Amino acid sequence: MEVSGPEDDPFLSQLHQVQCPVCQQMMPAAHINSHLDRCLLLHPAGHAGHAEPAAGSHRAGERAKGPSPPGAKRRRLSESSALKQPATPTAAESSEGEGEEADDGGETESRESYDAPPTPSGARLIPDFPVARAGSPARKGSGKRPAAAAAAGSASPRSWDEAEAQEELEEAGGDGDADADGEDDPGHWDADAADAAFGTGGGSRAHPRALAAEEIRQMLEGKPLADKMRPDTLQDYIGQSRAVGQETLLRSLLETNEIPSLILWGPPGCGKTTLAHIIANNSKKHSIRFVTLSATNAKTNDVRDVIKQAQNEKSFFKRKTILFIDEIHRFNKSQQDTFLPHVECGTLTLIGATTENPSFQVNAALLSRCRVIVLEKLPVEAMVTILMRAINSLGIHILDSSRPTDPLSHSSNSSSEPSVLMEDKAVDTLAYLSDGDARTGLNGLQLAVLARLSSRKMFCKKSGQTYSPSRVLITENDVKEGLQRSHILYDRAGEEHYNCISALHKAMRGSDQNASLYWLARMLEGGEDPLYVARRLVRFASEDIGLADPSALTQAVAAYQGCHFIGMPECEVLLAQCVVYFARAPKSIEVYSAYSNVKACLRSHQGPLPPVPLHLRNAPTRLLKDLGYGKGYKYNPMYSEPVEQEYLPEELRGVDFFKQRRC
């Protein structure tokens, strides 16, 4: 559970808060003097607004050197970790704030929009990318963005204006150092570092610090690129104009900080968590607590804790709490019920994100108290814009296929040329193949670049030329490979979902308990709904085990109910137990096949179906008795010996569905 808000002593820190007149940051009154000394030194006139951690805390750069969130965590966890932002400036001082970025004073600096221009069909998709000069998308509070974008947009690495590059460099510290504040942070992703360094090296051959392949490789290692590139402001939030476009109600509500309870519904990677992250950033400016839970690992007690804290905050400090629950559909109905009264009475504003239809997955009562925001798959143009933003931040140049000569081949000063280039069609292909999922696109890009940089195969297939080892060309094939590798992650909504459940079914049928457990874990770890797996087990109990072990059905139904009661992650072991039981159980498809035969018989029947024999009909009235209903029926319990009696319609007499396929 991640909670951002007043931590160590909420009472004191709230009561004695003052605002720094230079960087606007809130902090305990006791810290203001020492903070001001530092702040004035760091932010002379004109730099106000660039926030600095309060006195007593580490400087931003120092904090950033601390261990960054583990990138090896599974995807959902790493996504939720992206919301570990201090909700208020005071939170930056708390221990939980450590390791997080500095406050986002840099956001106040000018930042050009990344909205992609409409692309005519069939035209190249890479937009003439606006040069973003300030405000890093990857890091709040950062200073400069490179004009690498310009090079990409104009498709010529040489179109970059030298003077502009030098100016950018000087603004960024003048020495090619990563941070305008002079904070060096080699081990941490720093878009500024990339920007400042590449901005000067990318187009301006005069500058000695074009990003070397090795530098890019280091920047790409660790945290997923999608996390690093998560936008902090609505301005950088691409697409989704129906939901948060300029004229929408939601946008005006967000701008006035009137956040209603929301359910964000959309396919994976379309920006649900990102929108919540933007709301979180915004709320911290208004002293609203923003708490994040992921339904994949939060327990009911975590929810209760959040509610209790929200009640305290409301009654003692009149402070609102926004609770963001990622994958809310994975909470069972009773867990969802826990929020209901608190959303109702305004203790909590709930923001839930779900990939599943909320009509089925979210309690009707809760749903009726939330505004459902439908986010769509990102269109290809938006994907290109998002990818280009990352490509520019990394200092990768785009190679224009329409140019008659390869810029790599006629470099006069090879040492200062950009060292990593990417085919323009590789970007288009990546945007198309990502299927509206920005995470897939960005992580595919990361894998493609990393793979290419690690293998150091530096030749251009088109020209057949090889280049110096310091140059790398990322091709369309590289991104295709990168995408394939990133798809190893389980795709809950797509083909992988069906492939894995089929593999599980077959492994249990083949009595392979190891493989059965493997496929189960692969689905659950990938974010599969445990109730979906449980429903399939109920079916398997009858289809494949049947009367060979009739208690299998009881086991499956119990597992289903157990999953429903306790939800993930606790229910995974219930499913594991059931899966192993089924893999070990004797199998019989006798009933399943016989029933299939009956169905086939009915479907292939020509003409009207045979009537129910009169002796089998019930005769509750005299009239029916007179018509012969029930006549001649032998009531079995009255006979001690076996009863000779027909139960099938006359024309089916002698048919044995257990032996033959068709009647």
The binding site for ligand ATP (CB under 6 A) comprises: 79, 226-227, 229-231, 237-240, 266, 268-274, 353, 355, 386, 438-439, 442
CB-based burial, 177-192: b 16+ in 10 Å, e otherwise? bbbbbebbbeebbbbb
Kindly tell me which of 141 and 352 has the beta carbon lying closer to ligand ATP. Answer: 352
Nearer to ligand ATP, 165 or 370 (CB): 370
What is the closest distance, in whole angstroms, from the C-beta atom of residue 43 to ligand ATP in the complex? Answer: 29
Q: Decide whether 324 or 582 has the Cβ nearer to ligand ATP.
A: 324
Measured distance CA(202)–CA(425) in Å, rounded: 20
Spatial contact of 154 and 139, defined as CB atoms under 8 Å apart: no
Distance in angstroms (rounded) separating the CA atoms of residues 452 and 430: 15
> What is the nearest approach in angstroms of ligand ATP to the Cβ of residue 127?
14
Report in angstroms the alpha-carbon separations of 418 from 143, 156, 310: 22, 11, 51
In this structure, the number of other CB atoms found within 10 A of the CB of residue 649 comes to 14
- Whose CB is nearest to ligand ATP? 271
* Residue type (1 letter), 418: P
Q: Which is nearer to ligand ATP, 14 or 434 (CB)?
A: 434
Between 240 and 281, CB nearer to ligand ATP? 240
Which residues does 558 contact at the CB level (< 8 Å), separation at least 6?
none
60 vs 382, beta carbon nearer ligand ATP: 382
Query: Which residue, 265 or 581, is less far from ligand ATP as judged by CB?
Result: 265
Measured from the CB atom, is 227 or 406 closer to ligand ATP? 227
Burial class (CB in 10 A: 0-12, 13-18, 19+), 255: exposed
CB of 507 to ligand ATP, least distance (A): 27
- Contact between residue 380 and residue 432 where contact means Cβ atoms under 8 Å apart: yes
Spatial contact of 66 and 98, defined as CB atoms under 8 Å apart:
yes
CB of 416 to ligand ATP, least distance (A): 31
405 burial (CB, 10 Å; 0-12 / 13-18 / 19+) is exposed
* Contact indicator for 302, 12 with CB cutoff of 8 Å: no
Please, what is the minimum distance in Å from the beta carbon of residue 265 to ligand ATP? 10
For the bound state, the minimum distance from the C-beta of residue 274 to ligand ATP, rounded and expressed in Å, comes to: 3
The 3-state secondary structure of 163-213 reads HHHHHHHHHCCCCCCCCCCCCCCCCCCCHHHHHHHHHHHHCCCCCCCCCCH
281 CB-near residues (< 8 Å, 6+ apart): 85, 104, 140, 232, 233
From the centroid of its chain, how far is CA 123?
30
172 vs 295 by CB, closer to ligand ATP:
295
Q: Nearest approach, Cβ of 138 to ligand ATP (angstroms)?
A: 9
What is the nearest approach in angstroms of ligand ATP to the Cβ of residue 262? 13
- CB 146 to ligand ATP: min, Å: 18
